[in-house]
Structure 1
Amino acid sequence: MKILTFAATNSQQSINLQLARYAATMVPNAEVEVLDLNNYEMPIYSPEREAALAGQPPQAQQFFDKIGQADAVIVSFAEHNGSYTAAYKNLFDWTSRIDMKVYQNKPMLLLATSPGPGGASSVLAAATGSAPYFAADVKASLSVPSFFDNFDVANQELTNADLLQALQQAVQALTQ
């Protein structure tokens, strides 16, 4: 199984990337590809920029193609002011101009985490609610609150038994 995973942020120290990578390691015998959103930087989307380019930037097509080549997708959403990061939203907006079915009916596991007790649950709720409109087959979602209290950064693993069990169940739902 080929798993595509990424954090929906351009942060170089992303705790969401740590969570997404960790979840991907739980998929047995998976070939995992980790994307860095910094490789998909583009001008802020606008109809005028799209017209000036006579289409979309190549990075949007590359992102769309990566999703298409995967058997399943794991995304962990960082939350900026209760919503998507600008880096992810811009990439998503450009990619949706190629095809509104951005997620191409791929099975998906949607995650989110933050240092605080909210666990980026606002952005996760938005993503989980809207993803099916963009052809995502959302199999499970999970918010991990208080990341540094529940995740051992040195060993790159969840230490909270309840969250670990929930993540294992979510990964299992993704692969069935």
Structure 2
Amino acid sequence: MTEPTLLTISGSLRAGSYNRKLLAQAVQAFGPATVVQADLRLPLYDGDLEAAEGIPAAVLTLAEQIRNADAIVIASPEYNKGITGVLKNALDWVSRVEGNVLRGKPLAVMSANGGRTGGETGQYMLRACLTPLQPRLIPGPFVMVANASKEFETGTLDNAHYLKAISELMQALRAEIR
């Protein structure tokens, strides 16, 4: 079998974000794969823009990356007890692309956050936002890295508890690839 294609999506645009670092750990735990990183620098969803100009090229690129992925992992912080704006915007745009590109895709969710819950509320909201798009959402184990600045102090995650959960989640994601 050829290497699967793993699409990583960060709900944070910041280059040094803890969620990008978390995705790097997830990629390592996933094992051999062709890794593609999504870019969520998209225009804000606007029905008038869509009507006048159609789906923007950057959104079509993201939809094609999703369509071509064998599996997807999303890591996102929690902003104000919810999903990040860039991630919600991307889901809104992708939902407008014909053919529901997320339907049936194996997808895992994780989060790293500065607070003590590790982004729990944002992760639950993300799962709710994904429901109408019908991916094959991996139920767990949950990966919610709390106090991310401390956990990533060395640049990588060294906490054995989190590493075990990431490994189990990524192996469950890999097992869902048909």
What range is the shorter-chain TM-score in? 0.7 to 0.9
Q: Where does residue 51 of structure 1 map in the other structure?
A: 51
* Shift in CA distance, 173/78, structure 1 to aligned 2, threshold 3 Å: same
Q: Where does residue 147 of structure 2 map in the other structure?
A: 146
**Structure 2-normalised TM-score?**
0.86
* Shift in CA distance, 100/14, structure 1 to aligned 2, threshold 3 Å: farther
* Structure 1 alignment gaps of length 5 or more: none
Contact 1:37 1:88 in 2 (8 A): yes
* Structure 2 alignment gaps of length 5 or more: none
Q: Where does residue 111 of structure 2 map in the other structure?
A: 112
- Percent identity of the aligned residues? 26
**Structure 1-normalised TM-score?**
0.87
CA distance in 2, matches of 1:91, 1:129: 15
Q: Where does residue 165 of structure 1 map in the other structure?
A: 164
Show CA shifts across 1:11-64 (max 9, x none).
Answer: 2221111101210111122121222323xx21x2222222122x2111111101
Contact 2:30 2:167 in 1 (8 A): no
CA distance in 1, matches of 2:69, 2:143: 21
Which is richer in strand? 1
Q: Superposition RMSD on alpha carbons, in Å?
A: 1.8
* Shift in CA distance, 103/172, structure 1 to aligned 2, threshold 3 Å: same
The 5 A counterparts of 1:26-175 are 26-38=29-41, 41-42=42-43, 44-53=44-53, 55-99=54-98, 101-139=100-138, 140=140, 141-154=142-155, 156=156, 158-175=157-174
SS at match of 1:26: helix
**Number of residue-to-residue matches in the alignment:** 170
Shift, 1:152, TM fit: 4.7
**Aligned AA for 2:172?**
A
